[in-house]
Amino acid sequence: MTYSERARQLLASSHASEGDTVRLKAGGKDHSGMLMPHHDFSHPDVIVIKLKSGYNIGIMVDDSSELNVEVKAQERYSKAIAPSKVSDLPVISFLGTGGTIASYVDYRTGAVHPALKAEELVATVPELTEICRMRSKVVFSIFSENMDVAHWQELAGAVAEELNSGVEGVIIPHGTDTLGFTSAALSFMLGDVPRPVVLVGAQRSSDRPSSDSYGNLLSAARFCVNANAAGIFVLMHGETSDTCAHVHRGTKVRKMHASRRDAFRSLNAAPVAVLDLDGGLKMASQCHPKNDVKVQADTRMEPNVGLLHFYPGLSAEAVSRFADGLRGLVIAGTGLGHVSRDLVRGLKNLTSQGITVVMTTQCLEGRVNLNVYDTGRDLLSAGVIPGEDMLPETALVKLMYVLGRTDEPDKVRELMLTDLRGEISERREL
């Protein structure tokens, strides 16, 4: 909620702006303090001020309220920051996307400012300068839930450019909600990269002393420098304790908890590496070694692809409406990859119209197998492609990628069944 007309006018008529020291007369009382931003959930007639003690309070204003600015806010200034020291440490490129993985608090107003530029990153996480030289670029600045295919394409281009300039690695601070989608998209669009590209996020915002962002950022930098591994990776906390970070393959990783630090897990695969937060590195699975091949971002994508989570009672009619205008559809089916009999017929209808349908499992863990039960066999007959052990989200991104370069049904089927970027595992160990 924003201010009511009454509150807005009171502020406008006194030319008060956030950070000003004001005197507010309301409800027969005098309040003195610093004008704060309006809280989203505050009453529209409430003006928030910060008292000298540091506490914010909300004051209800009415038509008789008066507000006077006593001291205008001082211009906020950032101290000049010394440029990164010249050193022969490897260069890592930081590509900002808008997550507030590193930020600093203006304790005066309570505002949290993201640290986007390299200098700002250095200032918030100075230990980075002991690991690498940094350069940075802000590609865009949005919440990760607002990302779409066009953002992935833009980011892939930026990553390719950085890699081709010879950096030791690329680190992409990213909001965690859609981190797994972006890592899959970069994996497909960039192919075999010569260096590590590490997406990293934080589950606790960096204005808190308990934030996981510092440990994750430092570990990402250490992984880029110390591991002989090229590829698209995601790095996040390995457990609730601040003990280690896990590095995941970009196509096998999923956010599995709404809020925990260790929300990200590799599914149907082991993590690529484990880093203890003091710097130790243990590789846990095979990776491409670093090399000097140039990379080209192939950003062709078919955005008209959908993902549906099957549930009991989901009607063929609803699915067909959803699929209207789509060229591909990924279903997260039950168990081994099943849907209702009604929907099998519906999906057959879609495939016969030339829409590619890929089946994954909403169990997430384990492999789709359409040979075991009648329903599975019927799905195969209906032309549905079994998505192996791909995550539904990865299958979605892959289908966009595949349909972005071919219309040929057989070719599409072949590519969907081929492991292109580590998205399909042959084996799953106990």
Partner 1 sequence: MHQLTCGIEIHQQLDTHKLFCSCRSRLVEEEGNRFRRRLRPTQSEMGEIDRAVLAQAERRMHFTYQAPHGVSCLVEADEEPPHDADEEAMQASLIVSAMLNCRVMDEVHFMRKIVIDGSNTSGFQRTALVAVDGHLEVNGRKIGILSLCLEEDAARKVETKDREVTYRLDRLGIPLIEIATAPDMHDPDEVKEVAQRLGSMLRSTRKVKRGLGTIREDLNISVPDGARVEIKGAQDLSLLPTYVRNEMERQRSLIEIRRILRERGAVPVPVVAKDISALLNDSRSKVIRSALSKGGKVFCSALPLFAGTMRSADGKLRLGAELAQHARSRGVAGIFHSDELPAYGITVEEVQAIRKELCLQDGDAFALCADAADRAEPALLAAVARANQALVGVPEETRDPLPDGTSVYSRPLPGAGRMYPETDVKPILIGKDRLEHISQNLPELPEERMARISREYGVNEQQSRQLVKDGFDELFEEVAKDRAMAAVAARTFLSTYPELMKEGVDLGSLTDERVKEAFAALSAGRFAKEALPAVLKELANGSGVEKAVNALGLGSLDQGEAAGIIDMIIKERAEFVREKGEAAVGPLMGVAMKELRGKVDGRQAADLLKERVQAFLKG
Catalytic residues: 100, 176-177, 255
Q: Which is nearer to partner 1, 123 or 363 (CB)?
A: 123
Shortest spacing between CB 60 and partner 1, in angstroms: 4
Q: Which of residues 215-234 bind partner 1 (CB under 8 A)?
A: 215
Q: Tell me the window of 211-219, 267-275, 363-371, 372-380 that interacts with partner 1 (CB under 8 A).
A: 211-219
Q: Tell me the window of 14-22, 64-72, 73-81, 157-165 that interacts with partner 1 (CB under 8 A).
A: 73-81
Asked if 259 interacts with partner 1 (CB under 8 A), we say: yes
Q: Checking DSSP bridges between strand 169-173 and strand 103-106, what pairing results, if any? A: unpaired
Could you count the other beta carbons within 10 Å of the beta carbon of residue 44?
A: 13
Binds partner 1 by CB under 8 A, chosen from 18, 25, 91, 104: 104
Q: Which is nearer to partner 1, 53 or 286 (CB)?
A: 53
Q: Which of residues 261-290 bind partner 1 (CB under 8 A)?
A: 261, 277
3-state secondary structure of 29: strand
Shortest spacing between CB 217 and partner 1, in angstroms: 12
- In angstroms, the CA 38 to CA 384 distance is 52
Could you count the other beta carbons within 10 Å of the beta carbon of residue 385?
A: 26
Q: Tell me the window of 193-201, 210-218, 372-380, 391-399 that interacts with partner 1 (CB under 8 A).
A: 210-218
Binds partner 1 by CB under 8 A, chosen from 161, 168, 177, 207: 207
Count residues contacting partner 1 (CB under 8 A)?
A: 53
Q: Tell me the two tokens of residue 184.
A: 């899959």
3-state secondary structure of 116: coil
Specify the amino acid at residue 73. A
Q: Is 325 exposed, middle or buried (0-12, 13-18, 19+ CB in 10 A)?
A: exposed
Torsion 128-202-115-199 (CA) sign: positive
Tell me the residue length of the chain: 430
Residues 6+ apart with CB under 8 A from 142: 97, 98, 151
- In angstroms, the CA 266 to CA 225 distance is 22
Shortest spacing between CB 326 and partner 1, in angstroms: 35
Q: Which of residues 127-146 bind partner 1 (CB under 8 A)?
A: 127
Q: Show the site string, 145-184: x = touches partner 1 by CB under 8 A, - = not.
A: ----------------------------------------
Q: Any idea what the Cα angle at residue 172 is, between residues 167 and 177, rounded to 5°?
A: 165
Asked if 260 interacts with partner 1 (CB under 8 A), we say: yes
Asked if 60 interacts with partner 1 (CB under 8 A), we say: yes
Asked if 83 interacts with partner 1 (CB under 8 A), we say: no
Q: Is 397 exposed, middle or buried (0-12, 13-18, 19+ CB in 10 A)?
A: buried
Q: Which is nearer to partner 1, 44 or 409 (CB)?
A: 44
Asked if 204 interacts with partner 1 (CB under 8 A), we say: yes
Asked if 342 interacts with partner 1 (CB under 8 A), we say: no
Q: Which is nearer to partner 1, 138 or 380 (CB)?
A: 138
Shortest spacing between CB 245 and partner 1, in angstroms: 13
SS3 assignment for 314-365: CCHHHHHHHCCCCCEEEEEEECCCECCHHHHHHHHHHHHCCCEEEEEECCCC
**C-alpha 362: how far from chain center:** 21
Binds partner 1 by CB under 8 A, chosen from 4, 14, 58, 157: 58
Asked if 367 and 268 touch (Cβ cutoff 8 Å), the reply is yes
- Residues binding partner 1 (CB under 8 A): 26-27, 29, 36, 39, 41-43, 46, 48, 51-60, 78-81, 104-107, 110, 120, 123-124, 126-127, 204, 206-211, 214-215, 239-243, 258-261, 277
